[in-house]
Structure 1
Amino acid sequence: MRWTLKPKPESSKIEALQKALQVDPIIATLLLEREIETFEEAKKFFRPSLSDLHNPFLMKDMDKAVTRIEKAITNKENILVYGDYDVDGTTSVALMSSYLKTRHELVLTYIPNRYDEGYGISYKGINFAVENDFTLIIALDCGIKAVEKVAYAKELGIDFIICDHHRPGDDIPDAVAVLDPKQDDCNYPYKELCGCGVGFKLIQALNSKEGKGVKDLVEYLDLVATAIGADIVPITGENRVLAYFGLQVINTFPRPGIKALLEQVNKTELTITDVVFVVAPRINAAGRMKHGNYAVTLLVETEYEKALQFAAEIEEYNSDRREEDKRITEEALIQIEQLGEQNNLTTVVYQEDWHKGVIGIVASRLTETYYRPTLVFTRSGDKLAASARSVRDFDIYNVIEACSEFIEQFGGHKYAAGLTMKEENYQAFKQAFEDEVSKTIDRSLLIPEIKIDAKIDLKDISPKFYRIIKQFAPYGPENMTPVFMTEDLKDTGYGKCVGADKTHLRMTVVQPGSNALVAIGFGMGDKVDLITDNKLFKVVYSVDENEWNGNVSLQLKLRDVKANDSE
């Protein structure tokens, strides 16, 4: 692991913020690293408020979208709410449809089939709308590149409103309204909303036209927080406000579907991490293994007993997903070895029978193993489909775009993308992808990095310090859990490997002039030799709470351990 200590802010800025807030200089440092420089900015950070949400009409085309939906409601038109099959898409569809149904009966939902329609807006979905007399489709978490499909719908008398957050292409679809803050000519102040976040801005605008405030929409924020966590968007600005209040809903009065998914979580207060690792995979499993409709049905269900039944079905899909994920990952690792590609700068693997719903997870697993830009291909009809994942600070979308001569279609983000191509182009694309990464990547990015917020001593860690750190949550991209480094540590002599298979490291660390603290390193049992025999060592960690027999104490949650004098 590369340990990178973030550059320390200017001393004068630390001192000024420390005085303004009456906090420890370490807390002031952490805030400045998050571009929080004044008392007012800190207040907004620590005390998110719904009043901090922007006026939705600042988003390009919002007025057009609201006008068209109000016309559809007045004229009793059939409205089809269309969304992708992943967490962001299904939560968006659940949000929009359940809101519209409070004002209009003629609302139906549509999630494309991952296997015969693929990602985004499909001709099959448009034909469904024609056959069932829908005159308006609201597309969520997709559509920004569906130029030809929106034109096709228009010819058939169907209007589109697009709510997307992916990067636009050169041409924008000719829809009634295109809501996407990433459009060059959209002046919306916050660019990092997820698809469900853009959907929320639309219902906020519709609600305001009814003379109501954003507080009337808080019940929908459990869906928005789930999408924010699952889609790995920055938890800054508006996303922080939406996630903060969404977590409050999840922890106090979640909708029956989310409550049912959380049955097995034995925790009093859920964090965004719990949402990402418990709720999101199960919602995703429906679209991966069966159909995204199952997730929407669960999320809009109002009766808890029914929600429990739907959640039990989804749990089965998730179990199947885990088995497929494990099998395909093992087969992919064998393929990499057999091809002798362990030393490449990229991982590109293909097997025609791999489950299309799982290749994104497998791409993430392979990225964890080899830590390099990764694509996993499978067959999808007469084409090949792939999921792409990247390493930190490297834009895989740009690389795929540079290889677009071999690709039928693609879309996504800096760190995750999807594409389809003809099978005969696979080998040429694979070589072009390796060549493009070789030309553009900084080789240091191929070594996993731990970014360290501050170097501190054990004596700096107190209950008060931890109480303030906790208020930095919800954590996520651009506001990660604060990570610290401490040097000159010794184990008190009881450090050992723990766990059923002895793969974890547990020790009690001390430093001259400080109290001892317990440290736990999951999967770090192989580092036990670094801490024995009175050796000095250094650690990178986050501060955490440990609850045991009703007693709560602070502990260090280790990220890495090195000898004291090592780089």
Structure 2
Amino acid sequence: MGLLVTVDTGSAAHEEIAVALAGGMDVVVLDHHLFDARPAGVHALVNPRRPGNLYPNAELCGVGVAFKLAQALTLLEPGCLPQDFLASVQDLAALGLIADQMPLVDENRVLVRRGLERISDRHTVRPGVRALLEKAGLGHGQAVTATHVAYQLAPRLNACGRIGRVQAALDLLLTRDADEARDLADEADETNKRRRETDQRVMDEAVIKALPFAERGDPGLILGDERWHRGVIGISAARLVERFNVPSILFSLEGEESRGSARSVPDVDIKAVLDRCAGLLVRYGGHAQAAGMTLRTRDLDAFREAFLVALRQEPEHDGVPEAYDLDLALNAMTMQEVAQLNQECALLEPFGEGNRAPVFRCDGLRLSGAPATVGRGGEHLRFRFAGPGQPRAGGTPALAMSFISFGAGKAWESLLAELPGGRAALPELRWDILFQIATNNWRPSNGAPVDPVQLQLLDIRRSDAP
């Protein structure tokens, strides 16, 4: 009958594989998800996380495993693929590894770096990727980084599969026609806008539902609603983890069966917790930090109780939000020195999971006026600080520079509410900050000059805080 090759799925798909085998098909599974038992009858199971695996890199995602299969074919069956095939798909491998948030270590770094080089080169970039770059305001010839892919390209591609036409994302990556690419990029961009709106609505409603459970000290959150789109519940679950710092599962209630998506805190293996609740689930699978599942809707309350019991059997979660590792404390620097430091940091690219960008600290700064709101709805803030010390020849006062803080609007308002004296006290206070340095790719429509680097504020506290 033929050959069925799965990518990024199949390790636990016993029923589906049995149907394919009964139809006379050979089945090859390319996957990276955890599983308990090998599906019976598969021709091959290629999974870096399978029991007994000796391959040194267990952090490949589905597209990485597919790339390794192609690489093996070129070695074992010379001529079975075009000579330049592996080089031509390195960009796809990079997109997948970054979008699936795989650690950028080991050979993943090599695959991503080479893929980003193809994406950055106007001679090798795919028309669809070029169109996405232009949509994201990155079509100015600058080098594309893993951060650009993670925050600009991947969300637009993923949105098509979450709430739009998944075929649009595939066609966008495969098309060789520039006009078709622009049309598909427009579709992906509009779909992503709808995805953001849907995600925000689900998040707002989920927070309201979560508060009673959080206030009573539940070690995890399980919430569901008929109106929640299954395509965004994973994103919203991750944001709930950030908000409440406990493992969280959101369900899209869809009649007799409901789909759920789980996200966890760093020190809780969500897959291991689900293993202890398996009797209440129709099916499930995933990793230590993320999982998907299906349950009978009538079992939601029972599953919640079983999940909480299983969580309480885990080593106690320390309750401390994920901290930053400081790389270097800075005092006085000119903007020219900051730009030089950014060039040196770029040598450590690609940054992402498993290889974060360096984090810097500066203490004792004063705010130069109130932060300005930027972005849709004022969710981002721009701070300007004046640092301690005297102005330096050829430069500015220490760190008399502006910083962007993404998504910090509500957190800043909460901090102000706790200040004795509120906003009136700001001019007298000193602040300690953590920040990262990145290349500033924003180009204003009026052509006004901008700083070559962007200082991204990660965290802030009063210098006199305990």
Place the TM-score, normalised by the shorter chain, in its bin. Answer: 0.7 to 0.9
Say if 1:335 and 1:349, in contact at 8 Å, map to a contact too: yes
Matches for 1:284-303 after TM superposition, within 5 Å: 284-303=158-177
Aligned amino acid, residue 472 of structure 1: L
Highest RCO, 1 vs 2 (Cα 8 Å, sep ≥ 6): 1
Give the corresponding residue for 1:537: 431
Give the corresponding residue for 2:15: 148
- 1:490 and 1:531 map into 2 onto residues whose CA distance is 14
Say if 2:28 and 2:44, in contact at 8 Å, map to a contact too: yes
Is residue 2:147 matched to residue 1:273? yes
Give the corresponding residue for 1:448: 321
Alpha-carbon shift at residue 258 of structure 1 (Å):
1.8
Say if 1:452 and 1:485, in contact at 8 Å, map to a contact too: no
Matches for 1:305-384 after TM superposition, within 5 Å: 305-337=179-211, 343-380=217-254, 382-384=256-258
More moved, 153-162 vs 266-275:
266-275
Aligned amino acid, residue 218 of structure 2: N
Of 104, 107, 124 in structure 2, the residue corresponding to residue 235 of structure 1 is 104
Say if 1:530 and 1:562, in contact at 8 Å, map to a contact too: no
Say if 2:283 and 2:294, in contact at 8 Å, map to a contact too: yes
- 1:321 and 1:504 map into 2 onto residues whose CA distance is 23
Matches for 1:109-124 after TM superposition, within 5 Å: none
User: Aligned in 2, Cα 1:400/1:530: closer, same or farther, shift over 3 Å?
Assistant: farther
Say if 1:497 and 1:503, in contact at 8 Å, map to a contact too: no
User: Aligned in 2, Cα 1:258/1:544: closer, same or farther, shift over 3 Å?
Assistant: closer
User: Aligned in 2, Cα 1:502/1:142: closer, same or farther, shift over 3 Å?
Assistant: closer
Say if 1:329 and 1:366, in contact at 8 Å, map to a contact too: yes
Alpha-carbon shift at residue 563 of structure 1 (Å):
2.1
* Structure 2 gap ranges (5+): 417-422
Alpha-carbon shift at residue 565 of structure 1 (Å):
3.6
Alpha-carbon shift at residue 296 of structure 1 (Å):
1.7
User: Aligned in 2, Cα 1:313/1:177: closer, same or farther, shift over 3 Å?
Assistant: same
Alpha-carbon shift at residue 155 of structure 1 (Å):
2.5
Is residue 2:450 matched to residue 1:557? no
Give the corresponding residue for 1:92: none
Alpha-carbon shift at residue 437 of structure 1 (Å):
2.0
- 2:241 and 2:68 map into 1 onto residues whose CA distance is 34
Alpha-carbon shift at residue 277 of structure 1 (Å):
2.0
Of 461, 475, 482 in structure 1, the residue corresponding to residue 351 of structure 2 is 475
- 1:144 and 1:303 map into 2 onto residues whose CA distance is 36
Alpha-carbon shift at residue 430 of structure 1 (Å):
0.3
Of 226, 233, 245 in structure 1, the residue corresponding to residue 95 of structure 2 is 226
TM-score, normalised to structure 2's length? 0.84
- 1:385 and 1:437 map into 2 onto residues whose CA distance is 20
Is residue 2:262 matched to residue 1:397? no
Give the corresponding residue for 2:365: 490
- 1:332 and 1:307 map into 2 onto residues whose CA distance is 36
Q: Deviations over 1:223-265 (max 9, x none)?
A: 1111111111100011111111111111113212222222212
User: Aligned in 2, Cα 1:226/1:555: closer, same or farther, shift over 3 Å?
Assistant: closer
Alpha-carbon shift at residue 465 of structure 1 (Å):
3.3
Alpha-carbon shift at residue 539 of structure 1 (Å):
1.4
User: Aligned in 2, Cα 1:173/1:241: closer, same or farther, shift over 3 Å?
Assistant: farther
Alpha-carbon shift at residue 415 of structure 1 (Å):
1.5
Give the corresponding residue for 2:419: none
Alpha-carbon shift at residue 297 of structure 1 (Å):
2.3
User: Aligned in 2, Cα 1:310/1:404: closer, same or farther, shift over 3 Å?
Assistant: same
Identity %: 30
TM-score, normalised to structure 1's length? 0.70
User: Aligned in 2, Cα 1:550/1:340: closer, same or farther, shift over 3 Å?
Assistant: closer
Say if 1:194 and 1:233, in contact at 8 Å, map to a contact too: yes
* SS state at 2:135 partner: coil
Matches for 1:10-21 after TM superposition, within 5 Å: none
* SS state at 1:440 partner: coil
User: Aligned in 2, Cα 1:505/1:312: closer, same or farther, shift over 3 Å?
Assistant: closer
Give the corresponding residue for 2:86: 217
Give the corresponding residue for 1:169: 36
Say if 2:380 and 2:404, in contact at 8 Å, map to a contact too: no
* SS state at 2:103 partner: coil
- 2:379 and 2:253 map into 1 onto residues whose CA distance is 41
Alpha-carbon shift at residue 418 of structure 1 (Å):
0.4
Say if 1:455 and 1:486, in contact at 8 Å, map to a contact too: no
Of 94, 105, 127 in structure 2, the residue corresponding to residue 256 of structure 1 is 127
* SS state at 2:313 partner: helix
User: Aligned in 2, Cα 1:307/1:538: closer, same or farther, shift over 3 Å?
Assistant: same
Give the corresponding residue for 1:49: none
Of 113, 116, 130 in structure 2, the residue corresponding to residue 244 of structure 1 is 113
Alpha-carbon shift at residue 337 of structure 1 (Å):
4.3
Alpha-carbon shift at residue 376 of structure 1 (Å):
0.7
Give the corresponding residue for 1:116: none
Q: Deviations over 1:84-140 (max 9, x none)?
A: xxxxxxxxxxxxxxxxxxxxxxxxxxxxxxxxxxxxxxxxxxxxxxxxxx5101111
User: Aligned in 2, Cα 1:245/1:214: closer, same or farther, shift over 3 Å?
Assistant: farther
- 1:271 and 1:429 map into 2 onto residues whose CA distance is 42
Say if 1:452 and 1:484, in contact at 8 Å, map to a contact too: no
Q: Deviations over 1:291-336 (max 9, x none)?
A: 4233222222221212222233333333332332222222222333
Is residue 2:374 matched to residue 1:507? no
Aligned amino acid, residue 342 of structure 2: Y
Give the corresponding residue for 1:75: none
Say if 2:8 and 2:62, in contact at 8 Å, map to a contact too: yes
- 1:154 and 1:530 map into 2 onto residues whose CA distance is 72
* Structure 1 gap ranges (5+): 1-133
* SS state at 1:258 partner: helix
